[in-house]
Amino acid sequence: MKYTEDHEWLSLDGDVVTIGITDHAQEQLGDIVFIELPEVGTQVTRGDEVVVIESVKAASDIAAPIDGEVIEVNEAIVANPGTVNEDAEGIGWFLKVRVDDLSQLDEFLDEDAYKDLIE
């Protein structure tokens, strides 16, 4: 598992990366009540706002951490946004992206570095 400084996690399988937000991020957001995901097939560029999350407190955008094509989104969290609060780093994943350039993943944080960031 890799992490970004924006509190996303990435899990790589072949050239497909699964993306979600960290447990720390869901805790900061509070109770999540609405999630909007991109359409499957969307070509995203790093930095694009791809996901909208609304908690009871505020709206937040999640930016794509890498370039690639969205090949799957987690419709279950749209129907039940609280899933992300319950299991942000498991069944509360957001989307899967086929990565254009795997070297983009090199710069992300490992678990220890991410823990240092949030402590």
Is 81 a binding residue for another protein by CB under 8 A? The answer is yes
Size of interface with another protein, in residues (CB under 8 A): 12
Burial class (CB in 10 A: 0-12, 13-18, 19+), 41: exposed
Least gap, CB of 61 to another protein (angstroms):
9
Least gap, CB of 113 to another protein (angstroms):
25
Residue 116 CB neighbour total at 10 angstroms: 9
Nearer to another protein, 31 or 111 (CB): 31
